[in-house]
Amino acid sequence: MKRAIPVLLATLALVAAACGDDDDSTSDSTAGTTPAAATDAPSATEAPAATDAAPAATDAPAATEAPAATEPAGTEPEDEGSGEGEELALATTDLGDIIVDDEGMTMYLFMPDAQGDASVCNDDCAAAWPPQTEITEVGDGLDESLLGTITRDDGSMQGTYNGWPLYYFSGDSAPGDVNGQGLNDVWYVIDASGAAIGV
């Protein structure tokens, strides 16, 4: 009986040691799984997708497309053509009283027109001698009944006085200029009756 007690104690010690090993193995296995779970956090650092919005914010060149707004207003080219005066008047010059438009620019007749119902001054001739395109009234000393119009070769209208188609001269730059008078013995300024002066 006395010998059985030490054997029993030895057996309990072995059982206790074995249970302790189980606890250690359990805690070890639990501890071993914990770091793995703790390291499953790199997904929280996956934030590069948030930086994809930055380039889109720089796509704003369209806002700078405003060249049309820089076009200065009122810069449309003015009409440089003659024939804008709508009224005929008389102006006193060294050649006598001659017909001018309401801006004082001298009117001419072209002898080859032969006081007819057509103009024979076209193309290059008309570039040097622009036709008077519109007359609506006359001033003092002129006869409104002598006003008329003809249709030119290009379909445009030209004013006439006493049957003569009226022209400007491109060589006249200021009111009162008569630089076209007598050129080639076919261009002449006009008096109040509608006759050529200086023929």
- Give tens-digit pLDDT for 7-56: 555 555 554 454 454 444 444 443 444 444 444 444 444 444 444 444 44
Statement to judge: residues 106 and 179 lie in one domain: yes
- Residue 109 CA: distances (Å) to CA of 10, 28, 36, 77, 183: 150, 123, 110, 30, 11
Q: What is the pLDDT of residues 153-167, one digit of tens each?
A: 999 999 999 999 999
Q: What is the mean pLDDT of residues 148-154?
A: 94
Asked whether residue 72 is assigned to any structural domain, the reply reads no
**Cα 149 from Cα 166, distance rounded (Å):** 9
Beta-strand relationship, 187-189 and 164-165: unpaired
Residue range of the domain that includes 9: 1-32
* Statement: residue 184 has pLDDT above 90: yes
Task: Supply the pLDDT for residue 79.
Answer: 40
Q: How confident is the model at residue 116 (pLDDT cuts 50, 70, 90)?
A: confident
Statement: the pTM of the whole predicted model exceeds 0.75 = no
Asked whether residue 56 is assigned to any structural domain, the reply reads no
Statement to judge: residues 94 and 159 lie in one domain: yes
Domain count, the chain: 2
Asked whether residue 39 is assigned to any structural domain, the reply reads no
Task: Supply the pLDDT for residue 83.
Answer: 52
